[in-house]
Structure 1
Amino acid sequence: MLSSVVFLTSSVFAQENEERSLGWSLHIDVRLRSEYLSDSFRIVAPATDQLKFSRTVVGARYQASDWSVEVEVQDSRAWGAEALSPIGTDDINTLEPIVAKLAKQWSLTEGSELDLSLGRMTLDYGSRRLLARNNFRNTSNAFQGAHLSYVSPSARAAVFYTLPLQRRPDGLDLESLRDKEIRLDKAGSGERFWGASIDYAVPQADATLATYVFVSALNDEPGRPVADRELATLGARFLWADGALDAEFEAAYQWGESLASIFSTPDEVLDHRAWFTHLHLGFELWPEFNFRLAYDQATGDRDPFDGRNERFDRLYGARAFELGPSGIFGAAVHSNIRAPAVRARWQSSESQAWLLSHRWLSLDSPRDFFVTGGRRDSSGASGRKIGGQWELRWRWTPKDTSFVVDLGGAYLKKGEYFSGAPGALLNPAAPKDSQYIFTQVSWSY
């Protein structure tokens, strides 16, 4: 159970409670994906969009008895973008060393271990909702700094201090980004991220308890305008499984100061108070078939004129594993949202897996932004209902090969929000339902 919530410096070489192989090891992963989207929900978007993506990861590590050196280079590219395509650093980052670190391990008593990592790294924590190495997204969050973890048979504790890597070129130099120019990502002092966590397994109850605190600071730097923030996020997570039943509850509270936008001045700083929660209950109705009821909520800003900001900041988390495919779709995100859901996952054969889900999407605050759509009705008159989102995925893992084939799609049946929200006239396709399809092939060595 503990393996589902551990905090580690993540890489393709990550091993949990396993004896390490000494000497050199090599990993290669290649992924190709095609995405199609029609009638986007965004305020600015082409009527139809079709893009091709590639992601190649090459990594090498040398492991000695109690220390290791690791380097991992990721190359992410995209083709076919139109002038209004929602493409950016989430999609393109060419020849970037996302991992370049030195690690030292100390074996302690009773199977416990202390691990220190220094350098560039990727990070995963727990549910991955607030801190993750991205899987579906074409580029990955990466950090530069130090990470110290303690692991025992029943618990894990960790502390870290990092400077998040700013992917270059960024959206301010869109021509260079789309031309896939090679520039080394930058760890600037204007963006800092640190925190600590404790995870504890309770074997007699088949449960895991976890708590964490993350602190994020983001400030303007020359050539990089941002909405400044100084935020602390305190959260807790509970997981339980007993035979055919499983449950998870996670909640986090966020406080500090933030600016409403990049156009705000320093004297317009807002008091920041926000929260998010996730709850689900799963049932194994028969072997290899799991049915889940779930609810996600992340607060939005209730009043744009009251001097406070209640919009939850999702930090460096992932969403595609839970809220639907991201890429050029990505209607749902852990910010200003309410999203009850039903989901079914099953294995139709040894090599084939399926997922079918439906989410009812609405705004937590109708006066705040629909974040991924770039729309806001400050009066709240357009209502909350974003619509109903269907998702279907199929994965085929051919036996005795290193290939994985994924096919999937999403359908957003738009709600009343799109008939009255500002921006509908700028995007004539907005009232029509959004349709998204992706095909993907990956190979690893």
Structure 2
Amino acid sequence: MIHTTSRVLASDLRAHLDQTVTVSGWVNALRLQRTMQFVILRDHSGMVQVTYERDGGGPLEAVIESLTPESAVRITGRLVAAPQVKLGGLEIVPETVEVLNRAETPLPIDEHTGPEHRLDWRFLDVRKRATAQLVFAAQTTLEQGLREYAMRHGCTEMHTPKLMGTASESGAEVFKLGYFDRSAYLAQSPQFYKQMAVAAGIDRVFEIGPVFRAEPSYTSRHATEFTGVDVELSWIDDVEDVMAFEERMLAHSIAKVAEVHGEAIREVFGIEVLVPEAPFPRITMAEAQEILRAGGWDPESVKEDLDPEGERAVAAHIKEVTGHEFVFVTHYPASIRPFYHMRPADRPDLTLSFDLLWKGLEITTGAQREHRSDVLLKQAEEKGMDTAPMQDYMNIFRFGCPPHGGLGAGLGRILMVMLGLDSIREAAFLFRGPNRLTP
């Protein structure tokens, strides 16, 4: 069939009043009355009412009668003003109704379906919910902002391998798989490859790509596959350079989301996207522990690392004192950080590292890396690590590697906080967790 009229989106209809238009989308609702037939058609931009007066069983009436909810249709008709219609005061009087794909009935999910079962039918779930569609629109703009800032500030985008011959970092929490006649591992971070890139003379590097973590975590903020935002900067003076880069990159990207989607996010999620001011507050891990103790935490329960409850308490305190939703927690103990984090000369028990908390959720980990071969070897030995399988990595530091540092942030976590989502499952199109490998 040849279509001479091009498709008009629901959001653009007002410009075509009293014209013949073609709309394509899904049947959102049907009201089949004795004398009238009403179809609410939905596309990704909005909805429009289609109104047909029954004509005693003609072909058009029969087609409309045969429709089912969520059927894909193409409708051509005259767009007229209809002040009584709540959907923008417009309606289409149809001339042709083409059923492109009739949906089976009943649908496998409805508004009462629980979140886990909705994930089984994610394509329908996303299609039917404006909230889900807005998540991915915001994600697109957020990523655009991150790339824009990184590229404007001298970063080269890299795509590093996700298959590794040896387990990265500590060797824990990696997925092992068969690779021809030997084993391979899914990368739990592009960390080593980013460092290789700066050693290769690519001054500043960033990557937005998949990350795999074999963590048996069942929380609202963990996933076994997620999108990581990674940056590595060379020729830095100290870790402060990395934090300054990140806070400005986030401020730029969040401002972009606020500008493009702020109104929709306010309407759909009831959330105000606030653009943060740089610099963000910074406190040391020792100061964070003091805050917890002062808040009445039992000294025995204040551990070397911050647990989720501790992160929330520290962030709430900073918000109260400074009014800021973000806080960098710095100088984590060497005992709980990777061997490649640099340590201050006067405090070898600490690291030049940080976590960034937003509204009490950790969204980033970063650090200055140790670039001196002999020191790195010593720190690996201290942690009882066998460096032989990591020879390719250790070689990076033997031939003039510059001082450098970087960060890894979770795209899903940033979206989760920005949009006030209950779970990271809602920030991914298709979630992967310990119990979910489908669809």
TM-score, normalised to structure 2, is 0.23
Q: Which structure: larger Rg?
A: 2
TM-score, normalised to structure 1, is 0.23
Higher helix share: 2
Higher strand share: 1
